[in-house]
Amino acid sequence: MIAKVTRGADVGNLLRYLYGPGKRNEHADPHIVAGYRHPAALEPARRADGKRDLRPLAEVLRSPLETMKRSRPAEPVWQCSLRTAPTDRPLTDEEWADVAEELMHQTGIAPRDDPEACRWIAVRHADDHIHVVATLARDDGRRPNITRDYLKARKACQTVERRYGLCPTAPADRTAAPRPSRAELERAQRAGLQEPPRVALRRHVAAAAAASDSEEAFFAGLREGGLAVRLRFSVRTPGEVTGYAVAMPEYTNSEGEPIFFSGGKLAADLTLPKLRHKWTDSEVRRPVARSRRWATGSSTDHEVRVAAYQEAARVAGTAAWQMRAFHDPGVRADLAAAAADVLHVTADITGNRELAKAADAYDRAAREPFGRPPPGTPYGSALRAAARALAITNVCWGDRREQKRDLTVDLLFLIANIADLIESVAEHRLAQQRLAQADAARRAAGRLHGVRRTEPRQATSAPLEGERAMARLVAESFPVPLVDGLRSTGTRAARPSERPSHRKGAPRR
């Protein structure tokens, strides 16, 4: 069961909507199933024309506002929509009444056995949901305490799920990113966009944060990516940056101005203070280790790219083993968070749409409850350093088609080890009883396996002899065997005597 809390100023307009025909879904037989008094005493009477007379009910709900001892709130109408899952059985009116009473009790708006509580009603006009309406004014003239009401509503939903055997939902732990509103979805659809800008901005900001080791590099990366950046400065300390917001220049409001989203509106771990916590970690800020192949002055761009892929794949494979071998919750939390950095950077530099969707799906599994940053560890720092190395080599890559042709085998190794790491994160979240995060990790791993199955078919020819030798050496050095995983993708190492065959007209290297 899910709950959506909104606030308003006029209870009369809300009642007319609840008892009206509806805008998106038809309202069938709207009636009160529960309230601060018996539902029969609150049900609006029908007029001679068959319509409901809603004025008496609206006046009864408004009346406590006139006797408030303090100033009247600007939005005194509290409304919560409660909806069951499509797979749940239909609840009876008596069961919905119990659900509404539990919600009022958990939120503190109308606790049980409190005769001076706020006035409220619950209207049902469909099988799968009800609307609970309350006036935020107690009969004794005081205001109710509705602090963190949406979190309390989530707790009430979980209580009734267990009581009636409904489909269980995740707790309100703030690991999920804010979803686009209906207005954003409709505006994006009218503009012909593939996805709402909030989703695309979250992905771009996460990739820029993973590729940066300082605040200056982060903002520079956002601007180089074509985003508009607006900084927020402290009112107490002039010149001190306390936050930021980003926007797509082409996504504007009715006045032609870009619509900005702050980091906190994108995800709990993308606020500037939490990004600073990651960047200021001494382990994270250490220089990116360069392999022996990087150190040679004669290394070509291709050799640098291969080395970066090999290093990232090796570190990801080691991290997957560490997730299963180490039982320190701090180490596991840091590895889970750092895995998101590697996945976001890989999706960004390859431009692969499926990798981007996998990164979006995995984001929830990577976060700690309520956006708390995990403690920094050398194990997570190694993953983040590998992600930054991949991003640095992207500067000189140029055409992604050439990159894809030359680095298909290396990309497969990297994706395979990231998938193994994410599967180990799913096992960890499941052991923690964080079912929503475990499901997010499993979905991300499934998308990565899908990319591995399709990527070899997009290659235009078999690997060259040098690439095969390189892949064989890398596979032998991996802490997690990947030969079986690559064999399942359909790739086959050609024998030395074999030469790749081409159909007439097919592209060649």
The pLDDT assigned to 495 comes to 34
Gap between the Cα atoms of 439 and 462, Å rounded: 36
314-372 confidence digits (pLDDT tens): 999 999 999 999 999 999 999 999 999 999 999 998 888 999 999 999 999 999 987 78
pLDDT digits (tens, 9 = 90+) for 245-270: 999 988 888 888 899 999 999 998 89
Residue 201's pLDDT band (cuts 50, 70, 90): very high
How would you write 375-401 as a 3-class SS string? CCCHHHHHHHHHHHHHHHHHHHCCCHH
At 74 the pLDDT is 86
Q: Which two tokens stand for residue 18?
A: 């609840």
362 vs 181, residue with greater confidence: 362
CB 456 within 8 A of CB 490: yes
Rounded mean pLDDT, 465-478: 41
| Per-residue pLDDT, 186 | 85
**Spatial CB neighbours of 296, under 8 Å, sequence gap ≥ 6:** none
Rounded to an integer, the average pLDDT of 379-399 is: 79
411, 350 Cβ separation under 8 angstroms = yes
The dihedral through the CA atoms of 168, 172, 175, 181 has a sign that is positive
The H-or-E segment that residue 118 falls in is strand 118-124
- Taking 3-state DSSP, the helix, strand and coil percentages for the chain, each rounded to the nearest 5, stand at 50, 10, 35
Query: So what's the pLDDT on residue 508?
Result: 43
CA–CA separation, 106 and 144 (whole Å): 12
pLDDT tens string 416-458:
999 999 999 999 999 998 888 999 999 999 999 988 776 544 4
- DSSP letter for each residue of 287-341: PPP--HHHHSTT--HHHHHHHHHHHHHHHHHHHHHHHHH---HHHHHHHHHHHHH
DSSP label at 254?
Answer: T
Among the residue ranges 88-92, 225-229, 372-376, the one predicted with the least confidence is: 372-376
- Cβ atoms of 325 and 164 within 8 Å: the answer is no
The conformational region for residue 157 under phi > 0 = left, psi -120 to 50 = alpha, else beta, is alpha
Q: What percent of the chain has pLDDT over 90?
A: 50
User: How far is it, in rounded angstroms, from Cα 495 to Cα 474?
Assistant: 18
Whether residue 311 contacts residue 303, with contact meaning beta carbons closer than 8 Å, is answered with no
E strand or H helix at 5: strand 2-8
- Long-range (24+ apart) CB contacts under 8 A made by 49-56 are 52/19, 54/12, 54/15, 54/16, 54/19, 55/12
Angle at 196 between CA 399 and CA 440, to 5 degrees: 85
Whether 477 has a pLDDT exceeding 60, the answer reads no
Q: State the Cα–Cα distance between residues 9 and 55, nearest whole angstrom.
A: 16
DSSP of 164-182: HTPPP---S-S-SPPPPPH
Distances (CA, A) of 506 to 130, 405, 453: 61, 14, 22
The residue to which tokens 């956002």 are assigned: 222
pLDDT at 123: 94
Task: Write b or e for each residue in 308-344: b if 16 or more Cβ atoms lie within 10 A of its Cβ, otherwise e.
Answer: bbbbbbbbbbbbbbbbeeeeeeebbbbbbbbbbbbbb
pLDDT over 60 at 506, yes or no? no
pLDDT of res. 141? 87
What pLDDT is stored for residue 23 in this prediction?
A: 62
How high is the mean pLDDT of the chain?
A: 81
Closest residue by Cα to residue 134 from 48, 8, 257 = 8
Question: For 148-166, what is the mean pLDDT?
Answer: 91
The mean pLDDT value for 81-94 works out to 92
Q: Are 120 and 134 in contact (CB under 8 A)?
A: yes
Asked if 109 and 129 touch (Cβ cutoff 8 Å), the reply is no
The closest of 40, 2, 43 to 19, measured between CA atoms, is: 43
C-alpha to C-alpha distances, 295 to 86, 108, 299, 300, nearest whole angstrom? 58, 64, 8, 11
| Higher pLDDT pick, 405 / 58 | 58
- Which of 357, 364, 361 has the alpha carbon at shortest distance from 437? 364
Stretch 160-177: mean pLDDT, rounded? 85
Instruction: Say what the pLDDT of residue 108 is.
Output: 93
Q: Quick: pLDDT tens for 4-42.
A: 999 999 999 999 989 887 666 667 788 999 999 999 999
**pTM (predicted TM-score):** 0.71
Tens of pLDDT, residues 261-315: 999 999 988 999 999 988 886 444 444 444 434 444 444 567 778 888 889 999 9
Q: Which amino acid is at 419?
A: A
Residue 465 pLDDT > 60: no
**Residue that has been written with the tokens 């074509």 in this structure:** 226
pLDDT at 487 over 80: no
